Amino acid sequence: MSFQVKEVKTKPYDGQKPGTSGLRKRVKVFQQEHYTENFVQAIFDAVDLKGKTLVIGGDGRYFSPETVQTILKIGSANGVAKFIIGQNGILSTPAASNIIRKYKADGGILLTASHNPGGPNADFGIKYNVSNGGPAPEAVTNKIFEKTKAISSYKVIELPPVDLSKKGFTTYGPSNVEIVDSVQDYLELLESIFDFPLIKDFLQSHADSFKVLFDGMHGVTGPYGRAIFVETLGLPESSVQNATPLPDFGGGHPDPNLTYAHELVERVEREGIHFGAASDGDGDRNMIYGKGAFVTPSDSVAIIADWAAEAIPYFKKGGIKGLARSMPTSAQIDKVAKKKGLECHVVPTGWKFFGNLMDAGRLSICGEESFGTGSDHIREKDGVWAIVAWLNILAYANKQSPNQLVGIKELLEKHYAVYGRSFFSRYDYEEVSAVGAQSLVDAINVHISTGSLSRTSHVSKSTGQKFSVTDVSNFDYTDPIDGSVSRNQGQVILFEDGSRVVFRLSGTGSQGATVRMYVERYVPPEAGPAELNKDTQEGLKGLIEVALQISNLPEFLGRDKPTVIT
DSSP string, 116-159: S--STTSEEEEEEE-TTSSBPPHHHHHHHHHHHHH--EEEE---
Do 386 and 450 sit in the same domain of this protein? no
Do 376 and 505 sit in the same domain of this protein? no
What is the structure's pLDDT at 1? 66
* Helix, coil or strand: residue 5: coil
For residues 136 and 306, what is the distance between their CA atoms, to the nearest angstrom?
30
Helix axes 332-340, 408-419, angle to 10 degrees: 70
The last residue of one of the domains, among 152, 181, 210, is 181
The reported pTM is 0.95
CATH assignment of the domain containing 448:
3.30.310.50
**What is the domain count for the chain?**
3
Helix axes 93-102, 184-193, angle to 10 degrees: 80
pLDDT one digit per residue (tens) for the chain, 566 residues: 679 999 999 999 999 999 878 999 999 999 999 999 999 999 999 999 999 999 999 999 999 999 999 999 999 999 999 999 999 999 999 999 999 999 999 999 999 999 999 999 999 999 999 999 999 988 999 999 999 999 999 999 999 999 999 999 999 999 999 999 999 999 999 999 999 999 999 999 999 999 999 999 999 999 999 999 999 999 999 999 999 999 999 999 999 999 899 999 999 999 999 999 999 999 999 999 999 999 999 999 999 999 999 999 999 999 999 999 999 999 999 999 999 999 999 999 988 899 999 999 999 999 999 999 999 999 999 999 999 999 999 999 999 999 999 999 999 999 999 999 999 999 999 999 999 999 999 999 999 999 999 999 999 999 999 999 999 999 999 999 999 899 999 999 999 999 999 999 975 555 679 999 999 999 999 999 999 999 999 999 999 999 999 999 999 999 999 998 98
The last residue of one of the domains, among 392, 419, 446, is 419
CATH assignment of the domain containing 146:
3.40.120.10
Would you say the C-alpha torsion 433, 434, 436, 437 has a positive or negative sign? positive
Catalogue the active-site residues. 114
Do 323 and 207 sit in the same domain of this protein? yes
Do 177 and 203 sit in the same domain of this protein? no
Do 27 and 127 sit in the same domain of this protein? yes
Do 392 and 426 sit in the same domain of this protein? no
What is the structure's pLDDT at 506? 78
> Does an H or E element contain 334, and which?
helix 332-340
Do 377 and 427 sit in the same domain of this protein? no
What is the structure's pLDDT at 538? 95
Q: Percentages helix, strand, coil for the chain, rounded to the nearest 5?
A: 40, 25, 35
What is the structure's pLDDT at 507? 58
Do 25 and 155 sit in the same domain of this protein? yes
Do 337 and 264 sit in the same domain of this protein? yes
Do 410 and 426 sit in the same domain of this protein? no
The boundaries of the domain holding residue 261 are: 186-419
The last residue of one of the domains, among 419, 436, 463, is 419
User: What value, to the nearest 5°, has the Cα angle with vertex 549 and ends 548 and 551?
Assistant: 65
